[in-house]
């Protein structure tokens, strides 16, 4: 095997050309004086559609914001960069805000804008059922594939089971919570569980593969409760109020667009962010979520949402009753209310 | 770790000259100084951690602090069935490394017995050893299911290195001793049982020490994948609900566990190696 450290001449000029092009790409952005926002989302999901629409339709650019997005793949991975200042704005579940508020951290954060208004989990049944045939009592004595202990999908789903008088520890054959979230889809497909909760597009994928059918929506069972929100540190908000306001405006505009646009248009716009995802599945997921009304037409995270969230957290054992936080401490509604007024 | 001390104490009893006694006393002083510095280092580390957290040089939400960790020990013991989690991890680790050691010794014996077998399997063993088994954790989970994958990963991580270590020791066994047994008409089996195995007890003890760490790595990796109990489970659960104290406490207990297991093996080593002399 020969090893030529310098590379051939053609390779060298190709590399120079790429380098020059990259420099050229950077220059115009620097001249445009847009503010760069380092943005991290907790996972990549069709559930967060309005955020991708805001990027693709240029709503952020209109507000003078240049978004640098990446995905953390887990709450625990998003919080350190947020607290350390490497990320300016993050997309997380609001329960993280409750945890941060209760923590000894000297820096605190605020929720300033809401993305999803409902839990997006769908309940799948392995056996096919007629419409409206499903009754919650049917899960008794069966295997229920839930999320890992302590995560918001798990405490939400557990709350709904208890609401219907089902004790997961006693009334189910197996309450399965020890499957890591990355493995849940393949576990279901491999045959684990008679009932289980999944987000889109997994739910559509399972239906398409004939491995199950959607029979209920956790979001509808819980009712409206902000499920995903944008957060930033108090320091960042104090230093960059215009950017935060611009962010809310862009998201509100995207929400308005998503509420009325055709699913196929939305799917086409979101496609660049879901290169691995089957177009048909994406379309099915968007249709279902539109029908369920999961996207927040009002970007203000409400007080009732926080109350309901904390009720569920206390019931789920992840929060002690005396650790409940007040709305004013964790939410800044100024920006979101302005955004709603502006985007009329 | 504590090997020099018994020798110097025993030797001192029979020490004849003034100079020799002074030399032994100096050895003891040096050991005391080393111990003192080790304790100081631990205290300094804990102190810096606690102060940095209290003074907010670091974000206490992300680093936790020794005082909170200690408090969390008691909370976990009271409310979260800490004994159960410790027992689960301990049981998985011990079972895995016993199986890995036994399998490795048997396989090394087979390789020693048949040169042909060794030549055939050698490249595969080397590849299997270099391959990061942690990367296979999801595959173990799919093949073995949530309960057995933990053992599978832990055994896979330990066994290949141990086979190579023990076989290496077998090969290095003093050829003269082997020739001696052969000239007395000993069979290959007797060579194996009376020369090779006894001569390689130090190698096997060394392998035990390494396996303790590797088995724990495998068990925790397996628990991260899919567990309902164990210290790995507590670490995941704690990080999901942003309870760094729980994570740090679990890690501290893990560290304690591995130290205790190592000390048990060192004690075993002292007992076994001393007997042979």
For the record, the structure tokens of B3 come out as 């090997």
DSSP β-ladder status, A35-41 and A228-233: unpaired
Specify whether B18 is located in the same domain as B75. Answer: no
Side-chain half-sphere exposure of A33, counting CA atoms within 13 A? 0
Give the whole-angstrom CA distance, residue A259 versus residue A282. 16
Q: Are B200 and B242 found together in one domain? A: yes
Q: How close B37 gets to chain A, by Cα (Å)? A: 33
Domain boundary among B61, B92, B113: B61
- The Cα A201–Cα B48 span in angstroms is 48
Question: Which residue among B61, B79, B101 closes a domain?
Answer: B61
- A220 pLDDT more than 70: yes
Burial classification of residue B7, based on how many CB atoms lie within 10 Å of its CB (0-12 exposed, 13-18 middle, 19 or more buried): exposed
Q: Are strands A89-92 and A143-145 parallel, antiparallel or unpaired?
A: unpaired
**What pLDDT is stored for residue A31 in this prediction?**
42
| Beta pairing class for A143-145 and A195-198 | parallel
CB contact under 8 A, B239 and A76: yes
B108 & B38 share domain? no
Domain that holds residue B138: 64-276
- Is the confidence at residue A13, as pLDDT, over 70? no
pLDDT exceeds cutoff 60 at A230: yes
Tell me which residue has tokens 């068990």.
B219
In degrees, rounded to 5, the angle at the alpha carbon of residue A94 between the alpha carbons of residues B230 and A76 is: 40
CA distance A325 to chain B (A): 16
Same domain for B203 and B81: yes
Task: Characterize the bridge pairing of strands A143-145 and A213-217.
Answer: unpaired
* Helix A263-270, helix A49-56: angle, nearest 10: 70
CA distance B225 to chain A (A): 6
Among A99, A177, A186, whose Cβ lies nearest the Cβ of B241? A99
Alpha-carbon distance B258 to B264, whole Å? 10
Please tell me whether the peptide bond between A201 and the residue prior to it is cis, using omega within 30 degrees of 0: yes
Q: CB of B60 within 8 Å of any CB in chain A?
A: yes
> In percent, how much of chain A has pLDDT > 90?
69
Q: Which H or E run contains A294? A: none
Residues A100 and A91: beta-carbon distance below 8 Å:
no
pLDDT of residue B60: 86
Q: What is the pLDDT of residues A101-143, one digit of tens each?
A: 998 888 999 999 999 999 999 999 999 988 888 999 999 999 9
Q: Is B67 on the interface with A (CB under 8 A)?
A: no
Cβ atoms of A284 and A204 within 8 Å: the answer is: yes
> Which chain B residues are Cβ-neighbours of A103 within 8 angstroms?
60-61, 242, 244
Strands A89-92 and A228-233: antiparallel
For residue A186, the chain B residue with the least C-alpha distance is: B142
Domain check: are B167 and B94 in the same one?
yes
How far apart CA B247 and CA A76 sit, in angstroms, is 12
Distance CA A337, CA A116 (A): 16
CB contact under 8 A, B59 and A107: yes
What radius of gyration, in Å, describes the C-alpha atoms of chain A?
22
Q: CB under 8 Å to B94, separation ≥6 — which residues?
A: B215, B261
Inform me whether the pLDDT recorded for A218 exceeds 90: yes
The Cβ of residue B104 has, within 10 Å, a number of other Cβ atoms equal to 25
Domains and CATH numbers, chain A: 35-118+225-342 (3.40.190.10), 122-222 (3.40.190.10)
Between the alpha carbon of residue A3 and those of residues A7, A8, A248, the distances in Å are: 9, 11, 54
Cβ–Cβ contact B138 with A under 8 A: yes
A159 neighbors A316 (Cβ within 8 angstroms): yes
Are the beta carbons of A109 and A316 closer than 8 angstroms?
no
| Chain B residues 146-165 within an 8 A CB cutoff of chain A | 146
Domain CATH number, residue B149: 1.10.3720.10
pLDDT, tens digit only, all 277 positions of chain B: 445 555 555 555 555 788 899 999 999 999 999 999 999 999 999 999 999 998 888 888 888 899 999 999 998 888 778 889 999 999 999 999 899 999 999 999 999 999 999 999 999 999 999 998 888 888 888 788 777 889 999 999 999 999 999 999 999 988 888 888 889 888 888 888 888 888 899 899 999 988 888 999 999 988 888 777 899 999 988 888 888 899 999 999 999 998 999 899 989 888 887 665 4
- Cβ-contact A82, A188 below 8 angstroms: no
Same domain assignment for residues B150 and B45 = no
Element (H, E) at A284: helix A279-292
Q: Which of helix, strand or coil describes residue A210?
A: coil
Looking at the structure, do residues B203 and B128 belong to the same domain, yes or no? yes
Out of A80, A179, A180, closest to residue B62 by CB: A80
Q: How far apart are CA B84 and CA B80, in angstroms?
A: 9
| C-alpha separations of B54 from A86, B62, B63, B121 in Å | 23, 13, 11, 56
B241 and B140 housed in the same domain: yes
Q: What is the pLDDT of residue A1?
A: 44
- The helix or strand, by DSSP H or E, that contains position A197, with its residue range, turns out to be strand A195-198
Q: Which of B59, B224, B226 lies at the smallest CB-CB distance from A83? A: B59
Nearest by CB to residue A183, choosing from B53, B138, B240, is B138
Tell me: the pLDDT tens digits for A307-319?
Answer: 999 999 999 888 9
Radius of gyration (Cα) for chain B, nearest Å?
A: 24
Looking at the fold, whether B83 and B4 belong to one and the same domain comes out as: no
Q: What Å distances lie between residue A268 and A44, A56, A277, A279, CA to CA?
A: 17, 10, 12, 9
Contacts with B244 from chain A: Cβ below 8 Å? 103
Q: pLDDT band for position A182 (50/70/90)?
A: confident
Report which of A90, A93, A50 is spatially closest to residue A71, judged by C-alpha positions: A90
Listed in sequence order, the DSSP H helices in chain B are: 4-13, 18-54, 60-63, 66-79, 82-113, 115-130, 137-172, 175-183, 188-191, 197-199, 201-226, 231-240, 244-276
Q: What is the pLDDT of residue B50?
A: 93
pLDDT at A185: 87
Q: Same domain for B209 and B104?
A: yes
What is the per-residue pLDDT for A22?
53
Least confident of A34-48, A232-246, B139-153: B139-153
Q: Which residues of A touch B61 (CB under 8 A)?
A: 83, 100, 103-105
Which of A105, A183, A318 is the closest to B141 by Cβ? Answer: A183
The runs of H, that is alpha helices, within A8-132 are 9-32, 49-56, 59-62, 75-84, 94-102
Please give the span between the terminal C-alpha atoms of chain B, in angstroms, as a whole number.
19
**Which pLDDT belongs to residue B7?**
55
Tell me, what's the pLDDT at B241? 84
- HSE on the CB side for B47, CA within 13 Å? 6
**CA-CA distance, A166 to A188, in Å (whole number)?**
22
The contacts of residue B4 (CB under 8 Å, 6+ apart) are B27, B31
Cβ atoms of A147 and A121 closer than 8 Å: no
Last residue of a domain, one of B61, B77, B109: B61
What gap in Å lies between CA B144 and CA B137, rounded to an integer?
A: 10
- B19 and B79 both lie in a single domain: no
The ipTM estimated for the assembled molecules is: 0.73
Please tell me whether residues B57 and B68 are part of one structural domain. no
Adjacency order of strands within the sheet including A109-116: A65-71, A35-41, A89-92, A228-233, A109-116
Task: Summarize pLDDT for A65-104 with one digit per residue, the tens.
Answer: 999 999 988 888 899 999 989 999 999 999 999 999 998 8
- The per-residue pLDDT for range B224-257, each reduced to its tens digit, is 887 778 999 999 888 888 888 999 999 999 999 9
pLDDT classification of A29: cutoffs 50, 70, 90: very low
Shortest CA distance to A193 belongs to which of A154, A254, A143?
A143
Look at residue B241 and give its three-state secondary structure.
coil
How high is the pLDDT of residue B117?
94
Number of domains in chain B: 2
Q: Which two tokens stand for residue A284?
A: 């099915």
Q: For chain B, say whether A86 makes contact (Cβ under 8 Å).
A: no
Nearest partner of A43 among A108, A150, A120, judged by Cα: A120
């Amino acid at each position: 095997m020969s090893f030529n450290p310098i590379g051939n001449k053609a390779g060298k000029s190709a590399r120079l050309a790429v380098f020059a092009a990259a420099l050229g790409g950077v220059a115009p952005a620097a001249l445009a004086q847009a503010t760069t926002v380092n943005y991290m989302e907790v996972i990549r999901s069709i559930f967060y559609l309005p955020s991708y629409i805001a990027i693709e339709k240029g709503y952020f650019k209109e507000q003078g914001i240049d978004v640098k997005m990446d995905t953390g793949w887990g709450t625990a991975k998003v919080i350190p960069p947020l607290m350390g200042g490497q990320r300016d704005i993050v997309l997380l579940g609001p329960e993280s805000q409750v945890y941060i508020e209760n923590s000894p951290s000297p820096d605190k954060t605020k929720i300033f804008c809401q993305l999803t208004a409902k839990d997006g989990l769908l309940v799948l049944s392995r056996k096919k059922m007629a419409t409206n045939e499903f009754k919650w009592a049917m899960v008794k004595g069966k295997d229920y594939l839930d999320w890992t202990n302590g995560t918001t999908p798990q405490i939400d789903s557990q709350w709904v089971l208890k609401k219907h008088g089902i004790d997961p520890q006693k009334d189910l054959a197996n309450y399965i919570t020890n499957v890591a979230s990355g493995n849940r889809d393949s576990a279901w497909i491999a045959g684990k569980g008679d009932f289980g909760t999944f987000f889109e597009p997994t739910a559509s994928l399972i239906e398409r593969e004939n491995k199950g059918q959607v029979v209920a929506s956790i979001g509808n069972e819980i009712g409206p409760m902000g499920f995903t929100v944008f957060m930033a540190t108090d320091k960042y908000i104090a230093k960059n109020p215009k950017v935060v306001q611009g962010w809310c405006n862009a998201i509100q505009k995207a929400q308005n667009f998503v509420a009325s646009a055709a699913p196929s248009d939305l799917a086409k716009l979101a496609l660049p962010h879901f290169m691995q995802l089957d177009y048909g599945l994406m379309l099915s997921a968007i249709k279902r979520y539109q029908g369920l009304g999961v996207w927040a037409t009002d970007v203000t995270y409400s007080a009732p949402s926080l109350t309901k969230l904390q009720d569920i957290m206390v019931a789920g054992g992840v929060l002690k009753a005396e650790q409940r936080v007040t709305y004013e401490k964790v939410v800044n509604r100024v920006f979101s209310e302005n955004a709603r007024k502006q985007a009329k | 770790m504590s090997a020099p001390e018994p020798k110097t104490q025993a030797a001192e009893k029979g020490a004849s000259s003034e100079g020799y006694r002074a030399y032994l006393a100096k050895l003891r002083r040096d050991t005391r100084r080393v111990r003192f510095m080790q304790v100081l280092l631990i205290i300094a580390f804990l102190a810096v951690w606690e102060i940095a957290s209290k003074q907010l040089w670091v974000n206490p939400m992300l680093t936790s602090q020794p005082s909170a960790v200690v408090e969390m020990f008691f909370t976990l013991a009271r409310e979260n069935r800490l004994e159960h989690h410790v027992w689960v991890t301990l049981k998985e680790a011990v079972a895995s490394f016993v199986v890995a050691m036994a399998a490795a010794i048997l396989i090394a014996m087979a390789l020693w017995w048949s040169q042909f077998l060794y030549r055939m399997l050698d490249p595969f063993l080397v590849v299997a050893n270099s391959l990061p088994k942690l990367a296979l954790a999801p595959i173990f989970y799919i093949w073995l299911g949530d309960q057995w994958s933990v053992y599978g990963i832990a055994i896979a991580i330990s066994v290949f290195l141990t086979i190579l270590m023990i076989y290496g020791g077998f090969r290095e066994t003093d050829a003269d001793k082997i020739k001696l047994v052969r000239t007395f008409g000993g069979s290959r089996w007797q060579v194996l049982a009376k020369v090779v195995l006894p001569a390689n007890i130090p190698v096997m003890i060394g392998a035990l020490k390494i396996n303790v760490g590797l088995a724990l790595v495998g068990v925790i990796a397996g628990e991260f994948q899919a567990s309902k109990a164990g210290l790995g489970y507590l670490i995941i659960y704690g990080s999901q609900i942003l309870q760094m104290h729980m994570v740090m406490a679990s890690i501290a207990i893990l560290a304690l566990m591995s130290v205790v297991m190592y000390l048990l093996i060192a004690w075993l080593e002292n007992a076994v190696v001393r007997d042979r002399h």
